[in-house]
Amino acid sequence: MSSNLPYLYSFNYDHHHSDLCKLESRHLFNQEEKEKVLFSDVLVDPSISPFIKNRFEIISSADSYSALLITVKKKKIRVEGFNAEYIILHSDLADFAERQSMIKDVGYSIEGEPNFDSPTITYAICQYETHWYFGILIKPNTDWRNHKTKPYSFSNSLCVHIAKSLVSIASQGNKTTLLLDGCCGVGTVMLEGRFSDFQIEGCDINEKACNHTKENLKHYAYTAKVLCSDINDLDKVYGAVIIDLPYNLYSYSTDAITLKIIKAAARLTSRVVIVSISDIESIIKESRLKTIDSGTVKKRGKSNFARRIWVCERI
């Protein structure tokens, strides 16, 4: 059966990020991607996610390729500088030559001069299960990958994929939500927030960490407020707070300190996204929060190191 929903999102991730991508998709779309594909009526900027490969805005669909081509011709599209692409989704068996031939058919069905290098618009076709789709392809800006070489980092900084996904999960894709990275370290999460124009502030008890965050933000010409403070001393309302808890590796921590930080976050917002390498379920229960969702991210190639992410709401 064909989907009547307007958007088809396709995803790309390594096996160790599968759980994180599904967690993110539950909070952006209210449903999980399946086989790296998701139909939705929710409009999401693909650049906010480390996993969304593209957003495909469906113009027409048909139960065969030839019927789809007729729908394209009927639209009598006339546009200068267009490009046409083929999206390969799970279960698509077309080989390279077949795909090239179909892209050519689509190109010849559109009036105007194509521009392959810097197109004004990219049309695409794809096949999913029993149906064929034609539409406009919106690709993400992937320059966030440059954050991997930020000037200041430390060995337990979050990887860019986790940091970026935390912003999506906390904000649920809403760029007007004021976010706080409550234990910002060198600002890994803040860089991802500012890259996608989210409103995000950072706070860390360690002055050196705050200075490194400021330098990292400056390096990419991002502006954001960085508060050198104990999160317990903040007094402001946020739409969501992200907490990457101290791991007791470089910064001293105990269950009592963890509980204090979580309680402080719960005082500032009704939505807290917490990252920890230890099981803090019982500590969350002691705070004013309840866990509404969670996921695990393993480190690539390291089966015994995993971070857990808890999405919590104030009781």
| Binding stretches for ligand SAM (CB under 6 A) | 156-158, 183-186, 188-189, 203-206, 209, 230-232, 244, 246-247, 251, 261
Q: Whole-angstrom Cα distance, residue 196 to residue 88?
A: 27
Residue closest to ligand SAM when measured from CB atoms: 185
Local structure of residue 5 (DSSP, 8 states): S
Coil vs helix vs strand at 14: coil
Q: What is the nearest approach in angstroms of ligand SAM to the Cβ of residue 240? A: 15
Q: What is the nearest approach in angstroms of ligand SAM to the Cβ of residue 246? A: 4
Q: Whole-angstrom Cα distance, residue 267 to residue 202?
A: 16
Q: What is the nearest approach in angstroms of ligand SAM to the Cβ of residue 270? A: 20
Closer Cβ to ligand SAM, 122 or 278, answer by number: 278
Q: Report which of 76, 61, 85 is spatially closest to residue 110, judged by C-alpha positions.
A: 76
Q: What is the nearest approach in angstroms of ligand SAM to the Cβ of residue 154? A: 7
Closer Cβ to ligand SAM, 33 or 204, answer by number: 204
Closer Cβ to ligand SAM, 124 or 158, answer by number: 158
Closer Cβ to ligand SAM, 251 or 270, answer by number: 251
Contact 112, 119 (CB under 8 A): no
Contact 213, 229 (CB under 8 A): no
Beta bridge partner(s), residue 235: none
Antiparallel, parallel or unpaired: β 52-62 and 121-128: unpaired
Closer Cβ to ligand SAM, 68 or 234, answer by number: 234
Q: What is the nearest approach in angstroms of ligand SAM to the Cβ of residue 232? A: 6
